[in-house]
Amino acid sequence: MFYFTLDILGTIAFAISGVLVAMEKRLDVFGVFIVAFVTAVGGGSLRDMLIGNTPVIWMQQSVYAITIIATVIFAIIFQSKLKYFRRSLFLFDTLGIGLYTMVGIEKGLSAGLTPIMCVALGTMTASFGGVIRDTLCNEIPVIFRKEIYATACILGGFSYFLLRELPIADAYAYMAGLVIVIGIRLLAVRFKIALPSIYPKN
């Protein structure tokens, strides 16, 4: 139930981030829903296909589709309340990658994967929906820019496995990993920390 709740929260966070990007591009209602939907389930769908969990989770459990529909309607109705558009998008995107990283790692553990593969699976779960969202909206995906994005997922994921070696409950290590992903992303943006550029300055 704990992991399911986090999965639903991640779905909501990414659905809202999809709605915000779609509305910025002034898409119609159908376009907003499609962008929100693929943002919310894109990473999870890739994850499930890679570990052979098919049909993918949102096809098995209607609660995911219902949650996305309700979230889209809520976000459209209360769009005027989202005054700081870019800040709202950043917040929900950051929450989404934190939640989905840890959900993906847990799915990898359930499938018997090694820690490295679990971290890779968590990073893909967190990042792939945003890649589809940005591609559909004619943007360069955040993960392909020099911003700290996937790096936060990787560091948080490995921190989780290190913390599991300590004499603490796995749930605490799990929450710590989640906080580390979100914290690294927030700090990187706050202090303008980025990956080094490989291109010479003009």
- Whether this model's pTM surpasses 0.85: yes
Structural domain of 153: 2-190
In-domain check, residue 99: yes
Angle, to 10 degrees, between the axis of helix 115-136 and the axis of helix 85-110? 140
pLDDT in tens, 84-103: 555 777 888 999 999 999 99
In-domain check, residue 200: no
- Give the amino acid at 71: T
In-domain check, residue 202: no
Alpha-helical regions (H) of 2-84:
2-24, 29-50, 57-60, 63-77
Q: What is the number of domains present in the chain?
A: 1
- Give the amino acid at 119: V
In-domain check, residue 119: yes
Quick one: pLDDT at residue 86? 57
In-domain check, residue 201: no
Q: Residue range 111-128: average pLDDT?
A: 96
Residue 8 backbone phi and psi in degrees, to 5: -65, -40
In-domain check, residue 196: no
Q: Which of 91-95, 119-123, 174-178, 183-187 has the lowest mean pLDDT?
A: 91-95
Q: Give the C-alpha separation, 20 to 25, whole Å.
A: 9
Q: Residue range 60-77: average pLDDT?
A: 94
Q: Residue range 159-176: average pLDDT?
A: 94
Quick one: pLDDT at residue 109? 96
CA angle 151, 154, 158 (to 5 degrees): 145
pLDDT in tens, 16-29: 999 989 998 999 99
Please tell me whether residue 145 adopts helix, strand or coil conformation.
coil
Cis peptide, bond prior to residue 55, ω within 30 of zero:
yes
Q: Residue range 46-60: average pLDDT?
A: 95
Q: Residue range 130-149: average pLDDT?
A: 89
In-domain check, residue 198: no
